[in-house]
């Protein structure tokens, strides 16, 4: 089945801070977004990559047959929705954060297979901290830890399912599409993720990513 990849890269990186958004910071001498795009380009099943970036960057981006840049939106969900309009006629779509440079082909292939079979799949890692639901500085609920997983990307979908849920959730601000797919009644499979596929969120995450490259 044909595969397209959507990379939302239009965020401002407010938790990371600094002058330039974190997805353009260098890791091993290259912008993080470029590392991610190159890793998907090297995968034989990926026919097209659509990257959502800040509108002012679209004109200066280098469009190619396989890599297209479109304007993102005010939320991650809107950026993914904008990119989805340009994936073309594909059967499977993966959505991957621009700032997770360490995803593996092993996980990606497992996710594509699970999405082809069941409709939707995401990489999940067990949480190690106890997670409390808190309101007004008080614990309201403590979910059973073994039942919790932290959601990573790439999240993979049959294209029709991703289109369906993004249309139905238009205007919302969901942080991932797997949750949306589940919300609208689709079966969503969890595939084992990998703790090294962390999201670069704060400066210390980039420092750790640099150390991982040096040790590799
Ligand atoms: N993203 C996007 N469009 C937005 C917001 C986020 O394409 N309007 C992208 C980010 O560029 C990133 C991914 O969604 O690749 C995951 O989001 P996150 O890590 O939260 O990045 P930011 O939103 O940029 O960071 P912060 O939440 O700290 O501001
Ligand atoms: Mg964000």
Domain containing residue 23: CATH number = 3.90.550.10
Q: Which ligand is nearest to the CA of 200?
A: 1
Tokens read off for 160: 């029709």
Report pLDDT for 96.
98
Exposed e or buried b per residue across 128-140, where buried means at least 16 C-beta atoms within 10 angstroms of its C-beta:
eeeeeeeeeeeee
The pLDDT tens digits of the residues spanning 79-101 come to: 999 999 999 999 999 999 999 99
pLDDT above 90: residue 20:
yes
Domain count, the chain: 1
Best mutation site among 5, 6, 7, 11 for ligand 1, i.e. most ligand atoms within 8 A of its Cβ? 11
77 lines ligand 1 (CB under 6 A): no
- Asked if 121 and 155 touch (Cβ cutoff 8 Å), the reply is yes
Rounded Cα distance, 124 and 144, in Å: 16
* 144 found inside a domain: no
Q: How many CA atoms lie within 13 A of 112 on its CB side?
A: 21
| Ligand 1: nearest atom to the Cα of 199 | 19
pLDDT bracket for residue 171 (50, 70, 90): very high
pTM above 0.85, yes or no: yes
- Asked if 73 and 53 touch (Cβ cutoff 8 Å), the reply is no
Share of the chain above pLDDT 70, in %: 100
Rounded Cα distance, 60 and 53, in Å: 11
Rounded Cα distance, 65 and 53, in Å: 18
Best mutation site among 76, 152, 172 for ligand 1, i.e. most ligand atoms within 8 A of its Cβ? 76
* 28 found inside a domain: yes
Report pLDDT for 189.
98
- Asked if 5 and 48 touch (Cβ cutoff 8 Å), the reply is yes
pLDDT above 90: residue 108:
yes
Mean pLDDT, all residues of the chain: 97
Report pLDDT for 216.
84
The pLDDT tens digits of the residues spanning 177-197 come to: 999 999 999 999 999 999 999
Distances (CA, A) of 50 to 77, 80, 87, 192: 14, 9, 7, 25
pLDDT bracket for residue 105 (50, 70, 90): very high
* 29 found inside a domain: yes
DSSP letters spanning 19-62? SS-GGGSEETTEEHHHHHHHHHHTSTTEEEEEEEE-HHHHTTS-
Rg (CA), the chain: 17
* 96 found inside a domain: yes
pLDDT above 90: residue 115:
yes
pLDDT above 90: residue 112:
yes
pLDDT bracket for residue 111 (50, 70, 90): very high
Question: Is it true that the peptide bond before 58 is cis, omega within 30 degrees of 0?
Answer: no
Can you give the residue range of the structural domain that contains 45?
Answer: 3-120+153-215
* 32 found inside a domain: yes
* 74 found inside a domain: yes
* 16 found inside a domain: yes
* 201 found inside a domain: yes
Q: What value does the mean pLDDT take over residues 36-46?
A: 98
């Amino acid at each position: 089945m044909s595969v397209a990849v959507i990379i939302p890269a239009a965020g401002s990186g407010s938790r990371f801070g600094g002058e330039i958004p974190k997805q353009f910071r260098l890791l091993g001498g290259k912008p993080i977004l470029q590392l991610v795009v190159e890793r998907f380009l090297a995968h034989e099943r990926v026919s097209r990559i659509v990257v959502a970036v800040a509108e002012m960057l679209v004109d200066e981006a280098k469009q190619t047959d396989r890599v297209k840049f479109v304007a993102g939106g005010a939320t991650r969900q809107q950026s993914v929705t904008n990119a989805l309009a340009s994936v073309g006629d594909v059967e499977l779509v993966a959505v991957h954060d621009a700032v997770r440079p360490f995803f593996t082909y092993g996980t990606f292939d497992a996710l594509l297979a699970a999405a082809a079979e069941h409709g939707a799949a995401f990489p999940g890692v067990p949480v190690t901290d106890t997670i409390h639901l808190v309101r007004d500085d008080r614990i309201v609920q403590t979910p059973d830890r073994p039942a919790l997983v932290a959601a990573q990307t790439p999240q993979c979908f049959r294209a029709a399912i991703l289109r369906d849920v993004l249309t139905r959730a238009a205007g919302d601000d969901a942080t991932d599409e797997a949750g949306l797919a589940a919300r609208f009644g689709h079966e969503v499979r969890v595939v084992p993720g990998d703790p090294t596929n962390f999201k670069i969120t704060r400066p210390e995450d980039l420092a750790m990513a640099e150390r991982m490259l040096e040790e590799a």
